[in-house]
Chain A
Amino acid sequence: EPEVTQTPSHQVTQMGQEVILRCVPISNHLYFYWYRQILGQKVEFLVSFYNNEISEKSEIFDDQFSVERPDGSNFTLKIRSTKLEDSAMYFCASRAELAGYTFGSGTRLTVV
Chain B
Amino acid sequence: AQSVTQPDIHITVSEGASLELRCNYSYGATPYLFWYVQSPGQGLQLLLKYFSGDTLVQGIKGFEAEFKRSQSSFNLRKPSVHWSDAAEYFCAVGAFQGAQKLVFGQGTRLTINP
Residues of A within 8 A of B (CB): 31, 33, 42-45, 48-50, 55-56, 91, 93, 97-98, 100-101, 103-106, 108
Contact with A along B61-103 (1 / 0, CB 8 A): 0000000000000000000000000000010101011111111
Residues of A near B25 (CB, < 8 A) are none
Q: Give chain A residues whose Cβ lies under 8 Å from the Cβ of B41.
A: 108
Across the interface, B97 reaches (CB within 8 A) one of A97, A106, A108, namely: A97
Give the B interface residue count (CB, 8 A): 24
The A contact surface, by secondary structure, is strand
Interface of chain B, helix or strand or loop or mixed? loop
A43 and B99: CB pair below 8 A? no
In the complex, the answer to whether A101 meets B102 with C-beta atoms within 8 Å is: yes
Nearest A residue to B101 via CB reads: A45
- CB pair A91–B99 under 8 Å, yes or no, is no
Q: Which of A56, A97, A103 contacts B101 (CB 8 A)?
A: A56
